[in-house]
């Protein structure tokens, strides 16, 4: 079970090593989402190499045609 511990003037979460291994959280930056039922901790999502979008002004043009 994870425990909240005192770290200086703050608090931290001590997560057992087997849980970290099962969740594949080793050496990962973590994201925290506060939910009604508690706290969701997930590894930060990484952008895939080469998938960055440089042009943020993307538009689509549609061409409609009628079949006679």
**Which domains, from first to last, does the chain contain?**
3-43 (2.10.260)
Instruction: Using alpha carbons, select from 27, 7, 32 the residue that is nearest to residue 17.
Output: 27
Residue 62 half-sphere exposure toward CB, CA atoms < 13 A: 2
pLDDT of residue 67: 61
Do 27 and 17 meet the contact criterion of CB atoms below 8 Å apart?
Answer: no
* Phi/psi at 11 (5° precision): -125, 155
Q: Are strands 30-35 and 38-43 parallel, antiparallel or unpaired?
A: antiparallel
pLDDT single digits (tens) 39-66: 888 888 766 666 666 666 666 666 666 6
Q: What is the mean pLDDT of the chain?
A: 80
């Amino acid at each position: 079970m994870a425990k909240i511990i005192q770290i200086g003037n703050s608090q931290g979460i001590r997560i057992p090593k087997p849980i970290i291994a099962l969740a594949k959280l080793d050496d990962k930056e973590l994201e925290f989402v506060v939910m009604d039922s508690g706290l969701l901790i997930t590894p930060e999502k990484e952008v895939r190499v080469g998938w960055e979008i440089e042009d943020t002004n993307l538009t689509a043009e549609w061409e409609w045609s009628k079949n006679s």
